[in-house]
């Protein structure tokens, strides 16, 4: 595969955009080499600036669950754009998508639209703090909720569990209110709650983690968080930016039957346009401005163009729920094929999968949290990434990301991918 034009475009981009990209993971720093610049995409395929066709397993980090340039979404955007793209005034379509989302997702009465997953999670935490009148939050090492200051926190040194900034620009003042727990470790959460009695507003969690690779919750983990929150008047926030409208029509709350107090969304809900959202029962949402005192706002929040894309996407998923079964079956087929291909070449690995989220880890031990995900052999992952790219397969440019399956993939695409795994593994 030739990538000359992508490399030239990257050099030009670096002159005027920090790192040449508008979001760091795209720069390929975790795998090396220059990033691929995409010219266009359709269905399961990306077409890059050098004329290469790539089978896409990232799908814009989740939104393209039905494939790129999906006609019902594209047509809705085209038609809406002809009538204006944003007014900064209420429009009927915002109510239409809100009614549909509320009908699809269990345990929510009201939803507020914003412009990204970061905004959704940041606002959900502020709402939880305003509702409970408590300041501290618990998040999990390895879970990512966007780049709001309260989330850019790493585990404190030693046994201490209050956080410390993991980015310059985040203050100690902010970090002190974020407590770090280990994913899938209820005992750790209980210990932190006990040490911070009556100070914790919320626990925010990826109910299926996708930012350490894909890590499903251990049996009883989410139920345990629910119980801890009920006992200590803490709000449970499910960050479903990745899982919402992907793992089921009603997301993880439906799939695994555990209810959160606030749920955040992104990615699929916008059909590829910038949309995030957060939702809860009306008893909580009534605290949000202008109804209540917790302030939150956005010039382009709920703009008709983004709402048109999101409404078209949710409408398609709502009327064809069998797509979730198809996605799960394709992901299971891929899992079995990759596993066989790697086993045939004695490559140590473990594969995590749930619904249409999957990740390959080059370590023989189970990957259940950040520490075990970090044990994976990153050199092998880099070789795997570039080898797959050479065979026209685009997977996540980081071992700490999930793959996102699109229903536009055919079983021929899956067989081509599995065959590529075998060829790459043979070079290890």
Total binding residues for ligand KE4 by CB under 6 A?
19
Site for ligand KE4 in 130-149 (CB under 6 A): 144-146
Closer to ligand KE4 by CB, 324 or 400: give it: 400
Site residues for ligand KE4, 357-386, by CB under 6 A, read none
Number of Cα atoms under 13 Å in the Cβ half of residue 103 = 12
The three-state secondary structure class of 178 is: strand
CB of 211 to ligand KE4, least distance (A): 5
What is d(CA 33, CA 113) in angstroms, rounded to the nearest whole number? 37
Rounded alpha-carbon distances, angstroms, from residue 271 to 65, 68, 243, 307, 339 = 8, 10, 14, 9, 31
Residue 62: CB minimum distance to ligand KE4, A: 7
* Residue number, nearest CB to ligand KE4: 117
Q: Give the x-and-dash track for 231-270 against ligand KE4 (CB under 6 A).
A: --------x-xx-----------------------x----
Q: How far apart are CA 221 and CA 177, in angstroms?
A: 23
Rounded distance between C-alpha atoms, residue 229 and residue 241, angstroms: 21
Among 3, 10, 37, 61, binds ligand KE4 (CB under 6 A): 61
Which positions ≥6 away from 8 have C-beta within 8 Å?
none
Whether 34 is a known active-site residue: answer: no
Is 202 a binder of ligand KE4 (CB under 6 A)? no
By CB under 6 A, residue 299 contacts ligand KE4: no
| Shortest distance (Å) from residue 23 CB to ligand KE4 | 3
Q: Is 23 in the site for ligand KE4 (CB under 6 A)?
A: yes
Nearest to 215 by CA among 166, 260, 179, 182: 182
All residues at 6 or more sequence positions from 407 whose CB lies less than 8 Å from its CB, including other chains: 65, 66, 67, 323, 326, 327, 330
Catalytic option among 177, 239, 363, 407: 239
> Does the footprint of ligand KE4 cover residue 118 (CB under 6 A)?
yes
Residue 346 CB, nearest approach to ligand KE4 (Å): 31
- 416: how many CB neighbours lie within 10 A of its CB? 15
| DSSP letter assigned to residue 151 | G
DSSP letter string over 25-71? GGG-TTT-SPPPPEEEEEBTEEEETTS-EEEESSGGGTT-TT-BT-H
Rounded least distance, CB 328 to ligand KE4, Å: 20
Asked if 401 touches ligand KE4 (CB under 6 A), the answer is: yes
Please, what is the Cα angle at 277 between 275 and 279, to 5 degrees? 165
- Inter-residue contact 273 to 303 (CB < 8 Å): no
Binding mask 206-235 for ligand KE4 (x = CB under 6 A): x---xx------------------------
Active site residue 136: no
Instruction: Choose, by CB under 6 A, the member of 6, 52, 116, 380 that binds ligand KE4.
Output: 116
Clarify whether 219 is annotated catalytic: no
> Interacting stretch for ligand KE4, rule CB under 6 A, among 69-77, 170-178, 204-212, 305-313?
204-212
- The residues that are catalytic are 144, 239, 267
Residues within the interface to ligand KE4 (CB under 6 A): 23, 25, 61, 116-118, 121, 144-146, 206, 210-211, 239, 241-242, 266, 276, 401
């Amino acid at each position: 595969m030739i990538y000359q034009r992508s490399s030239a475009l990257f050099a030009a981009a670096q002159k005027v955009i920090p790192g040449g990209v508008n979001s760091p993971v795209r720069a390929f720093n975790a795998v090396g080499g220059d990033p691929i610049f995409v010219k266009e995409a359709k269905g399961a395929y990306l077409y890059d600036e050098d004329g290469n066709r790539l089978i896409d397993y990232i799908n814009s980090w989740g939104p393209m669950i039905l494939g790129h340039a999906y006609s019902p979404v594209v047509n809705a955007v085209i038609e809406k754009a002809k009538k204006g793209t944003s007014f900064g005034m209420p429009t009927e379509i915002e109510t239409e998508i809100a009614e549909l989302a509320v009908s699809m997702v269990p345990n929510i009465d009201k939803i507020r639209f914003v412009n990204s997953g970061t905004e959704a999670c940041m606002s959900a935490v502020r709402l939880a703090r305003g509702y409970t009148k408590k300041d501290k939050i618990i998040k999990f090492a390895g879970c990512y909720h966007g780049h709001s200051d309260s989330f850019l926190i790493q585990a404190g040194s030693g046994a201490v569990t209050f956080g410390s900034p993991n980015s310059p620009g985040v203050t100690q003042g902010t970090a002190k209110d974020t407590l770090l727990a280990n994913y899938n470790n209820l005992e750790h959460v209980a210990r932190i709650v006990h040490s911070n009695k009556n100070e914790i507003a919320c626990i925010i969690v990826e109910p299926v983690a996708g930012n350490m690779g894909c890590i499903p919750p251990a049996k009883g983990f989410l139920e345990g968080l629910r119980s801890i929150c009920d006992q200590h008047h803490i709000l449970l926030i499910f960050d479903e930016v990745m899982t919402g409208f992907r793992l089921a029509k009603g997301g993880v709350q439906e799939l695994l039957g555990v209810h959160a107090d606030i749920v955040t969304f992104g990615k699929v809900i916008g059909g590829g346009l910038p949309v995030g959202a957060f939702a809860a029962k009306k008893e909580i949402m009534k605290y949000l401005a202008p109804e209540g005192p917790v302030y939150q706002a956005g010039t382009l929040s709920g703009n008709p163009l983004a709402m048109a894309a999101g409404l078209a996407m949710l409408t398609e998923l709502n009327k064809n729920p069998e797509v979730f079964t198809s996605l799960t079956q394709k992901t299971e087929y891929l899992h079995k094929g990759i596993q066989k291909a790697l086993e045939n070449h004695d490559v140590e690995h473990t594969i995590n999968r749930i619904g249409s989220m999957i990740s390959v880890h080059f370590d023989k031990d189970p990957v259940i949290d950040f520490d075990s995900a970090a044990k994976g052999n990153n050199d092998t992952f880099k070789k795997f990434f570039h080898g797959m790219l050479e065979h026209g397969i685009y997977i996540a440019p980081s071992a700490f990301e999930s793959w996102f399956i699109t229903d536009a993939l055919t079983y021929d695409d899956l067989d081509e991918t599995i065959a590529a795994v075998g060829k790459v593994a043979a070079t290890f």
